[in-house]
Structures are given as structure tokens and as C-alpha cells.
Copies of this chain bind each other. A is one copy, B any other.
Amino acid sequence: MSSWGNAVKISIFGESHGKGTGVVIDGLPAGEKLDIEEIYLQMSRRAPGKDKAATPRLEKDIPEIISGTLNDTTTGAPLCAFIKNTNTRSQDYGDMLSKPRPSHADYTGYIRYNGYNDIRGGGHFSARLTAPLVFAGAVCRQILSRRGINIAAHIASIGNICDERFDPVDVPDELIYRLSTTTFGLINTEKEKQMRELIEQCRIEQDSVGGTVECVIKGMPAGAGSPMFYGIENVISSIIFGIPAVKGIEFGSGFDGSAQRGSRNNDEFYFDGKTVKTRTNNHGGILGGISSGMPIIFRTAMKPTPSISQLQKTVDLKKHKDSEIEIKGRHDPCIVVRAVPVIEAAAAVAVINILSEVHKL
């Protein structure tokens, strides 16, 4: 299912090499003025072939708003946006039809849809489907920002090269602003050179590399989320795994914390003026599924791009025998860079739902 959400539902459609991709966002509050340039900026951060966001307005990946706004202001009716595919030159997919690419969804999609799935460029499984998700997030984050909630992510690692982590108790607004408007998001920008070199090396070796992304949600009021199955971790993870290549997620001290003692991992409370805070934030802003008012912090693991040009073994589903495949074309040797705005976007859609759930009869 490509539909998600309760109070604010998104329904994503489209294919990599079809007419385009898009999203319907149902349940948005009315009267929200949309900053279209800001939406373009977010789209451009994810767009292929754009690394530095020199100009926010891109030639491609420009979303057209089909419904749900009047004078760029939400009407409360479903907001549909469409992003036309412009660069889908015809190509020979004959091979792909029978030879599933390793670690892609070709094989599982084939089984799931009895061979009827559109495999051109990955079809509906393509990372291109994150474009409408970024659009939906761009709308939601503007609405959240007006309520004091801001979201930013950075490349926490590519291969074994790591950026610094967020200070979990104090993420400066300037950092959030910088990260949420850039294309190669790092806390320690000096790491960029090393990371770019690793990516380039992978390209040369016809290989790819994975990485991790760390995301912060700042300004979330305490008391949002619900115990058990509508906790913030449940809701965020259930949308984040909708992003291709995500294979893991952790909140707060996460896997590291699981190796710790309680005396070290526990976060003691104190009063900061009238506000209850914690001196450390191993809980990642969430206790019992509910926000504590501290920054919400999570990290996602992204597998290396499965599309590599090296010769790989696979099967021929039509001939029922083992075979080999060489994936042609230019592929992004590291999707982590472009995944950063996608993760922010998914987080924004999650947060608007979590906030809307809290009871206000």
C-alpha cells in the first residue's frame, strides 16, 4: 500500500518511467499559506543531478499542484500534486523482464504481482517515488514550522566515514536551518571532501556504498503520541521504512544504548525554569511512545545502492536457470545524500499525524 496516515493521509502514485509521480494529501488543515519557493527548494534537494542547491527553482521535478489550494493557500480539500517525468528515454528492458537485479525489488515484485508489475526503472518501487513524498513533507513542514516544530537531518555516515552527531539536548536553530536547506547536509562540513572522494571511488569501481542519516525534530511539545502501537517510534518507523533502501532505525541512544547500563542510559529530569527537561537525551525525546519535549532524534540505516555496474549473478526467470546481469546506465553510487531530505519529509508527515491524534474534544 502506498497510502499512509490517519488524520492526514497521503496516497502516493506513479512510476519511474511512466507519466510521472504524485501524491494526494487528504486531511490538511485549511488556511495554510504555502511557500511555493520553499517547496521547490525541498524538491531540488532530492532531485537527481543537483547537488548544490544553487537555485531553488529547478528545471525538473517541478510539482504542479492540481487541487486543494486557492491562491497558494490550503482549502482543506485533498491537495494533489503531480510531478511529470521528463527524462524517461526509451530503453531496452528486455533483459530486466526476466533477470531480476540483485537486491532490487524486481524479483519480489514479480512474485507479488504475478509478473504484471511495471519493471521499467523499478516502476512503482523506484526511489523516484520519494519525490512526491518530499512534496508532501514540504507542505507538512511549513505547517509544523508555524507551530514551532522544525525538522532537519544530516548524513551521519557514508561507508565508514562519520559526521559528528547532533548534541541530543541542544540542537541550534541555525544548524537546523542550514541542514534543512542544503544538499550535502553535514554537521561537520569538513567531512564532505572525504565522503565525496569515497563516493567517487565507488563510482570508478562500478560499486556503491551505504550510509546512515540522523534526523532531529525540534520543538515537539511534550505529551504527543500514545502508548503501545501509536507511539512516536511506531509511527515514524512505519513511514520511514517506506523509503527505498532503509533497513534500520534507532531512536535516542538506540543500539548503542542497548549495550549500556541503566545508570548510564537513564536521563535524569530537572527544571529549566518552568520546563521539565532531561540533562541527557538517550531516550531520544520519546518515553512510552510519547514526546518528552526534548529533541526527537533518530538514525536510519540505508543499504548501498543495489544498482552496480559490475557483472552479478542472478537467475533467468523465463528460462528457469541461473544467469548473469550487467546493469547499464549511470547510477547513483550513494543514495544517502539525496535521502536526507526524504527522511526529513517522511518525519514531517509522521509528526503532523501524531500531533493531530492528541485528543482535543
- Report the nearest B residue to A285, measured CB to CB: B108
Q: How far is the CA of A22 from the CA of B118 in the complex (A)?
A: 22
Q: A261-B208, A303-B258 in contact; A67/B112 too (CB < 8 A)?
A: no
Question: On chain A, which size bracket covers the interface?
Answer: 35 or more
Q: A1-B226, A3-B26, A322-B271 in contact; A361/B355 too (CB < 8 A)?
A: yes
Binary flags per residue of A343-361, CB closer than 8 Å to B gives 1, else 0: 0000000001001111111
In angstroms, how far is the closest chain B Cβ from the Cβ of A345?
Answer: 13
Binary flags per residue of A103-119, CB closer than 8 Å to B gives 1, else 0: 11101110111111110
Does A282 touch B at the CB level, under 8 Å?
yes
Enumerate chain B residues within 8 angstroms of A152, measured Cβ to Cβ.
none
Q: How far is the CA of A9 from the CA of B78 in the complex (A)?
A: 15
Binary flags per residue of A255-294, CB closer than 8 Å to B gives 1, else 0: 1011111111111111100101011001110111111110
**Of B76, B211, B279, B313, which one neighbours A269 at CB under 8 angstroms?**
B313
Does A124 touch B at the CB level, under 8 Å?
yes
Q: A250-B301, A361-B355 in contact; A231/B223 too (CB < 8 A)?
A: no
Enumerate chain B residues within 8 angstroms of A21, measured Cβ to Cβ.
67
Q: How far is the CA of A3 from the CA of B361 in the complex (A)?
A: 20
Question: Are A233 and B247 neighbours in the complex by a CB distance under 8 Å?
Answer: yes
Enumerate chain B residues within 8 angstroms of A210, measured Cβ to Cβ.
257-260, 262, 265
Does A163 touch B at the CB level, under 8 Å?
no
- Report the nearest B residue to A324, measured CB to CB: B268
Chain B CB count within 10 A is highest, among A7, A20, A80, A237, for A80
Q: How far is the CA of A289 from the CA of B76 in the complex (A)?
A: 14
Query: Which of these binds chain B: A53-61, A166-174, A304-312?
Result: A304-312
Question: Are A258 and B13 neighbours in the complex by a CB distance under 8 Å?
Answer: no
In angstroms, how far is the closest chain B Cβ from the Cβ of A299?
Answer: 8
Enumerate chain B residues within 8 angstroms of A19, measured Cβ to Cβ.
66-67
Does A228 touch B at the CB level, under 8 Å?
yes
Does A12 touch B at the CB level, under 8 Å?
yes
Question: Are A7 and B359 neighbours in the complex by a CB distance under 8 Å?
Answer: yes
Does A330 touch B at the CB level, under 8 Å?
no
Binary flags per residue of A96-108, CB closer than 8 Å to B gives 1, else 0: 0000101111011
Question: Are A143 and B105 neighbours in the complex by a CB distance under 8 Å?
Answer: no
Extra 4 A-B pairs, beta carbons < 8 Å, given A3-B24, A112-B290, A261-B304: A107-B222, A108-B289, A159-B259, A233-B247
